[in-house]
Structure 1
Amino acid sequence: MKSEFSFQVRWGDTDAAGIVFYPNFYKWMDDATHNYLAIIGYPSSKLFAEHQIGVPLLEANCMFKRPLLFEDQVVVESFVEELRNKVFKIKHEFKKEGQMVAEGYEVRAWTSFAGKPKAQPIPNYIRELMVSQVEILEG
C-alpha cells in the first residue's frame, strides 16, 4: 500500500537563503506516516483513543538530492518497506514535479500505552494492510 501526502512549502519552512531548512523533512516524514495510517483506516488518534496504541519513532534518516524552495508543491509517497513482528520501516520519497528531491525512512514500534509503554506485535489485520511492497522479516 502506497500513500501520498501533498503540501506546499511555506515561508517559515525556509532558511535565510530561501531553501527549506532540513529538519522540516523530518516533520514532513512524521506527517506522512500519520497520513499513511489514516489511509489504511487506522488514524493515530483512533489507535490511541480506542486501543491505547502509538507508533513512537526509533530511527529516522533522510538524504537530500535537490533543494526545495518557498511555494514549491511537494508530494511525499510513503510505503512500508520492512515489516517485523513489532516494528515497521516506512520509506518516504519526496517529489517535486515528479522528480525525487529527497528520500528517507522512519523505523517505528507498535506500542501499547496502556500502563508503561511496551512494544506489541502488530495485529495481523493491520499487517495485511501494510504487506504490499514489503520485505517481511523475522524478529
Structure 2
Amino acid sequence: MTQHDKLEFQLTYGDCDTVGIAFFAIYYRWMERAYTSWMSSHGLRSGELPDQLGIITVGASSGAAYLRPARVLDRLTCQVVLDHIGSTSYSVGYEFTRDGELITRGRMTYVCRGLDWSKTPVPDALRRVLESLPSPHFSVPAGV
C-alpha cells in the first residue's frame, strides 16, 4: 500500500443532486481520479503505456454498488484495491468509506491490447504494480 492508493475528499454541493445526496455518476470521476493518481505514483500514465510498456489498456466494464447515501459535506475516502489479475485483463476495486463504513463499492475492468489492438498479456511491470495494491477490505452481498 502506498499513500497514493487512497483519495480523501469532502463532498460539495456540486457533487450532489437536488436532495443533497451524491449523484451516482460522480463516483466514476472519483474512481478515475484515484486510479490515475495511483498509476502516476508508480510512474505509469495510461496515455503513455504504448511507449512505456508497448500496450494499450481499454476499459471493458465497470459498475458500482451504492450501499448508503453520501451527503453534502461528508468526508469520504476512496481506497483503490486489487480485485483480479488475469492473463490479459485486470480489475481494480474502489471502496468508498465514511468514518470506516463502506458506502459504495466500485469496480473497473481493463483489458490489455497490443499496439495492433490484438489481445496481449498483462506486462510483468504492470502486474507487479497491480500486485502492490491491497486486497479488498469489504465484501458486498450478491445482488446489491
Instruction: Mark yes or no: TM-score above 0.5.
Output: yes
Q: Could you list the per-position Cα deviations for residues 14-34 of structure 1 after superposition, in whole angstroms to 9, with x for gaps in the alignment?
A: 111011110111222222222
Alignment-derived partner of residue 59 in structure 1: 61
* Equivalent residues of 1:35, 1:43 under 8 A apart: no
2:100 pairs, out of 98, 101, 104, with: 98
Partners of 1:49 and 1:124 in 2: CA distance: 15
Partners of 1:72 and 1:56 in 2: CA distance: 32
Cα drift, residue 70 of structure 1: 1.9
Distance verdict in 2 for CA 1:111–1:28, change over 3 Å: farther
1:1-139 equivalences in 2 (<5 Å): 1=1, 3-48=5-50, 50-51=52-53, 53-112=55-114, 114=115, 116-132=116-132
* Equivalent residues of 2:9, 2:77 under 8 A apart: yes
Structure 2's unaligned 5+ residue stretches are 136-144
Partners of 1:52 and 1:95 in 2: CA distance: 35
Aligned pair count reads 132
TM-score by length of 1: 0.79
Identity %: 21
Cα drift, residue 97 of structure 1: 1.9
Distance verdict in 2 for CA 1:6–1:117, change over 3 Å: farther
Paired AA for residue 62 in structure 1: A
CA-based RMSD of the aligned residues comes to 2.3
Secondary structure class of the residue paired with 2:65: strand
Partners of 2:8 and 2:54 in 1: CA distance: 28
TM-score by length of 2: 0.77
Alignment-derived partner of residue 137 in structure 1: none
Alignment-derived partner of residue 142 in structure 2: none
Structure 1's unaligned 5+ residue stretches are 135-139
